Structure 1
């Protein structure tokens, strides 16, 4: 099928940690089926995969990942002593940079929007201009794992915190369809309970619990970065597993 006959689509790649490697398979299937990926939006690992694809270097990234060993992984874990995250991410990003060099997002052959989270304003940020790896570094900054990354003077974190599947940036794209890839899996059905509801107790909706936990985490992070009121109680502490849950 020639490029003129291919159907143009917008591709949305969601967050999901190591599961994000599934994005590579999705892209290859779409291409084999004759779809032309004309625009991309991504959060977290979706931003990384989308960035490599837009720069034409996805195959290099996939080959590098397949060759990784446990020892190789340990070499990339540069510890951030006393910071807002365990890892700086500098060694990892330097390694990734060598595959594609220095690129500005607006100069990529495929329009790309990378989504990150603004720590101070508690809002998602759409990055469609500026340094590609600055944007990727910000969007993969998993809370308490990687340190926040400054972009335009703003400390930014993992885009998956507030928008794990960023469809909104693609809604105005001049394409024929939007393909959105979520790595969250299928929700389990809630079981048990009294059928007649005699002993039923109010259950907090998952969305509300999720939002509350995000707010609590950002409160704590602002305190650690010096943006909060030191005189106030920092609130309940989140474990690494808690914050990993927020970003995946």
Structure 2
């Protein structure tokens, strides 16, 4: 009796949240690629959605180049300060950076199945973003409360998916993956090293761990100067607009 060839099971990769530690995902994906392991399904939360979305779109190399080029000073130049109740930072500059490489890409047109996980602000429900604009899905998934403002998608306000599903294994399973490679960037919260990593996941820690070049005092001095400059520019714009109206 002739034996039928065995088909390869669908492989999924779930890329977890972890702020600046999420650049680790790039190395994981490159290592898997060298080993000949190519995931059919990619699910990501927060920075995992950013890396996973770029991977699914075939744009991982530009993202790696960006990550390697980061210094604290450059991090500050990318931040677009806007003082609002919903978030400390407006991320117009970060979004523009993504548009350079992900312009007009829709999730349903990707060769790999991709899902970004977000949280609905009003209900706390978990939402799976598996169609529509890729940049919008990524942006919603990393909208860390208090840092980035929420984003509206299909009439719903969405924030960081780490609040509901920090390592989206369940998403990859639901999409048909028989084997799921999970990349968890966080460990036991009671472990001293894990507590240290939790600090790195905060906004100040994010800036420190993303680009360890500048001493902490200099970092926050630079941050303050950047915010002062932004406020002065906004005041000048308002004054100019008032003069034009007179």
* Residue aligned with 2:75, SS: helix
Which segment drifts farther, 5-14 or 42-51?
5-14
Q: Which residue of 1 aligns with 2:18?
A: 16
User: What is the RMSD computed on CA atoms of the aligned residues?
Assistant: 2.3
2:43 pairs with 41, 44, 51, which one? 41
Q: Equivalent residue for 2:97?
A: 95
- Spell out, residue by residue over 1:62-91, the C-alpha distance to the aligned partner (whole angstroms, 9 max, x if none): 011111222221121111212310011111
Matching residue of 1:204: none
CA, structure 1 residues 63+84, in 2 after alignment: closer, same or farther (shift >3 Å)?
same
What residue number does 1:32 align with? 34
Residue of structure 2 equivalent to 1:160: 162
Partner of 1:177: 179
Q: 8 Å contact 1:80–1:147 — kept in the other structure?
A: no
Checking the alignment, whether the CA contact within 8 Å between 2:102 and 2:135 is kept in structure 1 is no
Query: Where do 4+ consecutive residues of structure 1 move more than 6 Å?
Result: 4-7
1:142 is matched with 144
Q: Secondary structure at the match of 2:80?
A: coil
| Equivalent residues in 2 for 1:60-209, closer than 5 Å | 60-188=62-190
Gaps of at least 5 residues in structure 2 are 1-5, 193-198, 207-246
Contact 1:142 1:244 in 2 (8 A): no
Extract unaligned runs of 5+ from structure 1.
191-240
Offset at 1:32?
A: 1.5
TM value normalised by structure 2: 0.72
Structure-1-length-normalised TM-score: 0.72
Higher helix share goes to which structure? 2
Q: 1:5 to 1:57 in 2, by over 3 A?
A: farther
How many correspondences in the alignment?
192
